[in-house]
Amino acid sequence: MQEKELIQELKSQNGKNQAFNTLVKKYQEKLYWHIRRIVIKHDDCDDVLQNTFIKVWNNIENFRAESSLYTWLFRIATNESLTFLAQQKRRRIVFHGEENEFLSENLESDEYFDGNEIQLKLQKAILKLPEKQRIVFNMKYFDDIKYCEMAQILDTSEGALKASYHHAVKKIEDYLKNDS
Amino acid sequence: MGNKKKNINKLLKGIDNPYRLPNGYFDTFSDRLMSRIEQQENTYSKKSKRINGLGIMKYLRPALAMAASFAIIFLLIYIPVSTVSPKISHNQEQEKSIEFDYLNYYYVSSNVLVDIFENEYINDEYIQDELVEAYLLASMTEYDFYELIE
């Protein structure tokens, strides 16, 4: 089914359920990994992914197709993930510079993380990055999303995204070299 | 940028995705999601039925809210004003009446007194005595009064 048809079906009364099912099947995996790399724990990721699709279900009538469906879904998923992290931080006493410490703890305690020592080290290096740099790095490195799409999803200029990625790579390299 | 990716690829060579997920997670995800959406829709329709059931209250509510807010504003202004202002006016009135009595009692001028004595219509001795006494009290000191009695 073409994206245009899918959007039309999603907006119709009769075909909404079936079209939504198609949409979920098509994007669930990509969105899952995007969210998982932000919130880290599988259970949290499951909640956020469900919330993302529920937002889509509730707001599909307002989608004006100014961007692609894919971009819109990623934008909602990113916002939901960041909102979730903000709530988590509010519940804890987070000291300055240790904003992402709880994510490292989550990583180690997550039963669905199988990483060996090197993998754990890399993930911890990524988690040391500031939130925005981390998201940009993950989207570019793991999801291979183009800068122009990323700019639409994160509502930032391509130049700023390139700079963020550059800084992120530098920091990860330094961390891995110095710590080995 | 391509070089950077190569560099980091070198560093991360052989590092696979360390994250796992439960078996068959994506097979059951859409069913779980749809049941949650159904639940949400049911709750929403129940709520909207309850709101519809209220009928006229839906339209009356804004008017009632406005009336209540006016009443609250009135009470907020009226209560402090009514508790403070009567005390002030009562005290002022009392002071004024005391002042007035005082003036009536002590400021009987001698001319007025003479006029009264000369008035042919007043023949009552009792009234005359009372006026004389009032005049004397107003114009004489205590010392003069005792001297007169002695």
Is residue B119 a part of any domain in this protein?
Answer: yes
Question: Is B131 part of a structural domain of the chain?
Answer: yes
Please give the structure tokens belonging to residue B120: 């042919």
Q: Which of A18, A122, A126, A146 to mutate to test the interface with B (most CBs of B within 10 A)?
A: A122
Task: Give chain A's length.
Answer: 180
Report the distance separating Cα A118 and Cα A114, nearest Å: 11
- pLDDT, residue B111, reads 62
Spell B75-103 as b/e; 16+ CB within 10 A means b. Answer: eeeeeeeeeeeeeeeeeeeeeeeeeeeee
Report whether A45 contacts A35 (CB < 8 A).
yes
Tell me which residue of B48, B32, B20 sits closest to A51, measured CA to CA. B32
A132-150 mean pLDDT:
91
Task: Tell me how far apart the 2 most distant CA atoms of chain B are, in Å.
Answer: 136
Show me where the domains of chain A are located. Answer: 1-113, 117-180
Residue A106 is predicted with a pLDDT of 81
Of residues B54 and A91, the one with the higher pLDDT is A91
Decide if B127 is inside a domain: yes
Torsion sign over Cα A19, A154, A145, A113: negative
Residue of B7, B12, B36 with shortest CB distance to A54: B36
**Given pLDDT bands bounded at 50, 70 and 90, which one contains residue B52?**
low
In a domain, B100, yes or no: no
Q: How confident is the model at residue B79 (pLDDT cuts 50, 70, 90)?
A: confident
Q: What is the pLDDT of residues A30-59, one digit of tens each?
A: 999 999 999 999 999 999 999 999 999 999
CA angle A88, A90, A92 (to 5 degrees): 75
Which residue type, as a one-letter code, is found at position A142?
F
Which residues of chain A does B7 touch, with a Cβ-Cβ cutoff of 8 Å?
Answer: 169, 173
ipTM score assigned to the predicted complex:
0.81
Cβ A133 vs Cβ A141: under 8 Å: no
Query: Which residues are bridge partners to B19 per DSSP?
Result: A113
> Which candidate, A78, A71, A88, places its Cα nearest to that of A51?
A78
Nearest-by-CA chain A residue for B11: A173
| Among chain A residues, CA nearest to B18 | A115
For residue B101, tell me if it sits in a domain: no
Fold exhibited by the domain A117-180: Arc Repressor Mutant, subunit A (1.10.10)
Chain A residues with at least one Cβ partner in B under 8 Å: 17, 21, 24-25, 28-29, 32-33, 36-37, 42, 46, 49-50, 53-54, 57, 112-116, 118-120, 122-123, 141, 162, 165-166, 169, 172-173, 176-177
Does B61 touch chain A if contact means CB atoms closer than 8 Å? Answer: no
- Cα angle vertex A113, ends A112, A117, to 5°? 160
Select the residue of A33, A50, A141 nearest B33 (Cβ to Cβ): A50
**Helix (H/G/I), strand (E/B), else coil: A146:** coil
Average of per-residue pLDDT across A100-105: 77
What is the C-alpha to C-alpha distance for residues A143 and A51, in angstroms, rounded to an integer?
21
Query: Is the predicted pLDDT of residue A78 greater than 90, yes or no?
Result: yes
Contact A36 B20 (CB under 8 A): no
Is some CB atom of chain A closer than 8 A to the CB atom of B6? no
Full residue range of the structural domain in which residue B146 is found: 108-150
Model confidence pLDDT, tens digit, residues B89-109: 556 655 555 555 555 555 555
In whole angstroms, give the CA distance from residue A28 to residue A53. Answer: 9
In chain B, how many domains are there? 1
- CATH number 1.10.1370.30 given to A1-113: no
The answer to the question of residue B22 being in a domain is no
Query: How far is residue A56's CA from residue A78's CA, in Å, rounded to a whole number?
Result: 13
Chain A CB within 8 Å of residue B34 CB: yes
Angstrom distance (rounded) from CA A99 to CA A127: 10
State mean pLDDT over B25-33: 94
- Per the domain annotation, does B99 fall within a domain? no
